[in-house]
Each structure stands twice: as structure tokens, then as C-alpha cells.
Amino acid sequence: MEIQKLLKCKAIEMVNELYQAEISDSDIQLQITRPEFEGDFTIVVFPLTKLSRKSPQDTAVALGEALLKHVPEIEKYEVVKGFLNILFTKETWLNYFYTLAESVDFSWKTAPVSRKIMVEYSSPNTNKPLHLGHIRNNLLGYSVAEILKARGHTVIKANLINDRGIHICKSMLAWMKFGNGESPESSGLKGDHLVGKYYVIFDKEYKKEIAALVNTGISEEEAEKGAPLIKEAQQLLQLWEKGDPETIRVWKMMNEWVYAGFNETYNKLGVNFDKFYYESNTYLLGKDIVQEGLSKNVFTKREDGSVWIDLTKDGLDEKLVLRSDGTSVYMTQDLGTAQDRFNEFALDELIYTVGNEQDYHFKVLQLIFKHFGRSWWQSLHHLSYGMVDLPSGKMKSREGTVVDADDLIAEMIQAAEDKTKEQGKIDGISEDEQKELFRKIGLSALKFFLLKVDPKKKMLFNPEESIELQGFTGPFIQYTYTRIRSILRKAGELNNFNFSNVPLHSEEKEVIKLLSRKDEILREAEENLSPAIIANYAYELAKEFNKFYQVHSVLNETNSEIQKFRLSLCFKTAQCIAANLKLLGIEVPERM
């Protein structure tokens, strides 16, 4: 049994005996003992005073004495202001590690019940290339999906491509008017970059027309509505919706350019999908649900023909679900696609990875299905995340000032190359191996920096800080891994983990304690849908290993039993680091 779980079970048993009360797992609050105090785990005693009817100090002492008497694995306890610090014996930790070391393959404990979960992420528009914001979205969605898979769930990675609407028509119109037949082949540009170029051209030409109209004396609002380009774009959208053959031909051609470009970027990032949805196929799905809502009086139709839902009793407001002309809004589509996905896959959960500016939208979506009486309405989850900025500020795609994903990936790989060469760490590595190493380090820097922050928080991405080999970075953890692999290569094959009668120093115990938390950490990451928990754990493990390695010799240790133990500790630490980084989509090199 895991040491932390053993303590919890015994604490529950002792409390029940001491106070003749039936308490559950959630009633025992367990923490890692703070470093300034002696102990491995700390029991928060204050909630138990309601049962003991004694002071926190007396309650802690009574529980501590009971545990010391009945749990031979416990060496001693200490009470500090109502907190009960428990110290386990050296043998307990060594026995735990011996069990862990016997398992050559790394594994996590899976969730008690396996669920079928769809994670939707990426969801780009086909009028522009992916940018820094998309990178955070892709990495976050992919990592959450991998965390859920590691917990034993069946996961479907989904991507809803926004391939229709006025914004798509703007790129199409600009290409038709100003493109002169330009293609990815003739221009040498990636397809998504080429289409994005014409989205920017549309915006520039549109602004010129607005300025010219404003100079004639009309208001800016009137000019924005009356500019010839926007009217042409709206007409193009109408032609698309009517299925005009030439419009559809251009639309399909430009979309194919974009898909090829997206796939290239996805491959660079190392993210993938099991299912693609296209808005052009799904935007009408919700209309049947609108009719169902009207028949059930969940929705109401106004005099102009528009359909709404009143959510004022839920603390929100009224929400449009169908326009007066019968056309869909985003909510219409999301109602239809959600119902379609639960019908197709019999999902237990549907997770949307979307920025926090859409928090309100997903509250409404969930409440609508609650009013419909769908049993799965609470299974809709919005994985809300904050935006990413650079020191230069926010990004605006229509103005062509975005931080392009491909450019950023290339810059990070180049920065990794410069940093590695500067430190002279490429001797004896072939040119192909060097390129692969620079790629792994650069992507590690990018991914770790974006994932180490709690998803809900807005963040500032600092490329220079992310690439450092020291500190809270991906390359630091990779470097720790390669250091361990170097030790193991020099030691030769490990085929005997049967060590005995070894001393256990504090630095070694801290590494074992962290290894013992691997399943708990994965569970927390699942519950919070937060790769940041995994990233922070991997960093703490790497940091504690380096503390151990600075104090204790491995290869030069003369006692064979101690050396065997320390090599085993190295091996399991490397396994754990690699497994956790893999959940973040980060590869580990064998040399750095």
C-alpha cells in the first residue's frame, strides 16, 4: 500500500475508535510536511475537534499516540499548533521503493471507473494561420487528453474547423480580387499563410474604403456598413449558402490550402486528433433542437421571427438561439454538435478547450440542455484558459501582427541551437542528431513554459526565459533526464534491484517521497484538468534529484549495495520524469 494511503486509512480507523464516529476519506486532510518541520506528512486536526470536543493540541496528541501505537511503520510524531506531523521509519520508505523498483516498466494507477470523454481543442478559422494563442490551446487540449488517457479513460480528441462565415468570405474575396491566381506552389508560401495574407489585405483595403466614405461626411458606423468590400463579402456569403458552384470551388480550394498548412503545424507541435468536425457540415444541426425547444416552451419566438431563451431565473439574461431570418448563430451550432456527439459516442463527458472570453457562452449552453432535461447537461465542461501575451502586447490577426505559430516554433528551435552551441554540448553528435536535439529542446522550452501556468491564468510568454537550462524550464528537466541516462549508460545494464541494509539519507528520501506521489499527482491533474500540476511535479522531481546528486556519489560509491540502490533511484526517477513530460507532449533526448 502507498505510504500516504496507509496513513489515511489508519487515521480514519483511529479516529473512529477514539471517538466512536464514522468518518470517510474526505474527512482526513493530509498535506506534505513543510520543510522547516520534521515529518513526512501532516494531518490537519482542526476539523476533527468537532468529534473530540477537545483542543486541536489535545486532539493531535491523542491521534498521534494512537497511530504510533498501532502503526509500526511510523517512527514518531510531532504536534505543531494543531497540526500533526508524522514521520515514517527509514525501512518503510526503503520497502516502498523496493516495491517500486521491482516494477521495471513505469505505470500509473488508473481511475476506478473508465469513462468515455471527448476533448475538443484547436478549432481554428480557415482564414488565417495558427498563432501563439492557438499554440496554448492545442498544447492544453492535447495534454489534458493524454492525462485522461493515462488515468484509463477512453478519450476522443476532436477538432471543430470553423470553415464558413463572413470572415472566410473576406479572405476569399480578397484573393479573387487581388490574388491573380496566386497559389502555395507559385508563391512558395504555406497554404494557411497565403490565405492569411489575403485576410490582412481585405482588412487594409476595407479600412481605405471606410476612410474615403468618412471623408464624404457620413459617420464611421455607416461607412463600415456601406463600404463596397463588406457588401461584396456579404454577397459572397449568400452565394456560398446557396451553393453557387464557382464560390464553392474557390472555397474548397482555399480551405485545402489551409488544411495542408494546419497539418504541417500540428505535426511540428506533435499534436493529433481522432475526429474532425467542419462547421460547414454542422452549422444547421441545431435547428432541429430549436424546434424541439419551441415545442417544449423552453424557447420563445418573437414577432420578428427570432428565437430566444430566457435565463434570467438562472442569473443570466435572454439569449438568441436563431436569427429572425432563420439563420444560425454559434449557439445554434453548438447545441446541435453537442447533441450529435452524445448520440454518436454515448459520451460520459465533453470538454471544450476554449479561451475564457467564452465563459458566458458555455454557461448558457449547459443551462439550455438543463432546461431540456438532458441527463448529460452537467457532463459539458468548459476548459477555460487565459490569453497569452508577449512583452509587445496583444495580437491582432486581421492587422497581420500575430505571433505566427510556425515562426515561433522555428525561433525556439534556433534559440535552442544557439544556447546549446554556446555551452559547447554538441561534441561527438552527428549533424542529424544535432537537429533532432535542437528540435526537442526548443519545443520543450515552448511547451513547458505555456503549460506550467495554471490554465485559468492569463500569461506572458518569455522566449528567452523559457530556453534556460537552469530554473523552472523544460530544458532543465530534460537536462536532468539526460544526466541520469548518462549515469546509467556508464553503469551498464541494471538487472538486479535487490538491495538491502542500505542507509537512507534525507536527500534520497525526498526523491522517494516525490516518486510515491506520482499517482496522486496524476489524479489531481485529472480532477483539475490542469497540465500545470504535472509540469510542477516534474520540475520538483528534477530539482530534488539534482540535490541528491550533488551530495551523494553514484558511480564512485564503493559499497555495492548502496550503489545498486542509488542506480535504482536514478532509473525510476528518469522513468518518472520521461512519463510526466510525455503527458505534456515533451520528448526527452538521450544526450544534451
Q: Which residues of 31-61 are buried (b: 16+ CB within 10 A; e: fewer)?
A: eebeeeeebbbbbebeebbebbeeebeebbb
Whether 214 has a pLDDT exceeding 90, the answer reads: yes
- pLDDT, residue 155, reads 98
Give the pLDDT mean for 272-284. 93
pLDDT band at 569 (very low <50, low <70, confident <90, very high): very high
How many angstroms from the chain centroid is the CA of residue 400? 27
* Cell 490582412 found at: 200
Predicted TM-score (pTM) of the model is: 0.93
How many angstroms from the chain centroid is the CA of residue 177? 41
142-171 pLDDT per residue, tens: 999 999 999 999 999 999 999 999 999 999
Whether 496 has a pLDDT exceeding 70, the answer reads: no
346-382 pLDDT per residue, tens: 999 999 999 999 999 999 999 999 999 999 999 999 9
Whether 398 has a pLDDT exceeding 50, the answer reads: no
Whether 387 has a pLDDT exceeding 90, the answer reads: no
> What share of the chain in percent tops pLDDT 70?
97
- pLDDT, residue 246, reads 97
> d(Cα 313, Cα 473) in Å, to the nearest integer?
47
Residue type, 18: L
pLDDT band at 395 (very low <50, low <70, confident <90, very high): very low
Domains of the chain: 3-88 (3.30.1360.70), 165-278 (no CATH), 407-583 (1.10.730.10)
Quote the radius of gyration of the chain (alpha carbons, Å): 29
> d(Cα 84, Cα 107) in Å, to the nearest integer?
32
From the list 37, 36, 5, 9, the residue with the least C-alpha distance to 24 is: 9
pLDDT band at 452 (very low <50, low <70, confident <90, very high): very high
> d(Cα 144, Cα 528) in Å, to the nearest integer?
10
pLDDT band at 118 (very low <50, low <70, confident <90, very high): very high
DSSP H helices in 20-158: 49-52, 56-70, 90-102, 132-150
- pLDDT, residue 80, reads 94
Q: What is the per-residue DSSP string for 333-357?
A: HHHHHHHHHHHHH--SEEEEEEEGG
Count CA atoms within 13 Å of residue 573 on its CB side.
Answer: 34
Q: In what order do the strands lie in the sheet with 300-301?
A: 300-301, 307-310, 318-322
pLDDT band at 249 (very low <50, low <70, confident <90, very high): very high
3-state secondary structure of 162: strand
Whether 267 has a pLDDT exceeding 80, the answer reads: yes
> d(Cα 207, Cα 214) in Å, to the nearest integer?
10
The residues near 472 (Cβ < 8 Å, ≥ 6 apart) are 452, 539
- pLDDT, residue 392, reads 64
> d(Cα 488, Cα 591) in Å, to the nearest integer?
12
318-346 pLDDT per residue, tens: 999 999 988 888 899 999 999 999 999 99
**Degrees, nearest 5: CA angle 204-207-209:** 115
- pLDDT, residue 397, reads 41
Give the pLDDT mean for 513-517. 95
> d(Cα 45, Cα 51) in Å, to the nearest integer?
11
- Say if residues 356 and 385 touch (Cβ distance below 8 Å): yes
The residues near 464 (Cβ < 8 Å, ≥ 6 apart) are 415
Q: Cβ of 433: how many Cβ atoms within 10 Å?
A: 14
- pLDDT, residue 396, reads 44
523-558 pLDDT per residue, tens: 999 999 999 999 999 999 999 999 999 999 999 999
- pLDDT, residue 394, reads 45
- pLDDT, residue 497, reads 63
Q: Residue 550: in which H helix or E strand, if any? A: helix 531-551
The residues near 479 (Cβ < 8 Å, ≥ 6 apart) are 469, 592
- pLDDT, residue 355, reads 95
- pLDDT, residue 136, reads 95
Q: In what order do the strands lie in the sheet with 74-80?
A: 29-32, 41-44, 83-88, 74-80
- pLDDT, residue 315, reads 95
Q: What is the distance in angstroms between the CA of the first residue and the CA of the last residue of the chain?
A: 37
- pLDDT, residue 401, reads 55
Cell representation of residue 554: 553514484
Q: Cβ of 5: how many Cβ atoms within 10 Å?
A: 14
- pLDDT, residue 350, reads 98
52-66 pLDDT per residue, tens: 999 999 999 999 999
- pLDDT, residue 182, reads 97
- pLDDT, residue 465, reads 87
DSSP H helices in 423-461: 431-451
pLDDT band at 464 (very low <50, low <70, confident <90, very high): confident
For the chain, what is the mean pLDDT? 93
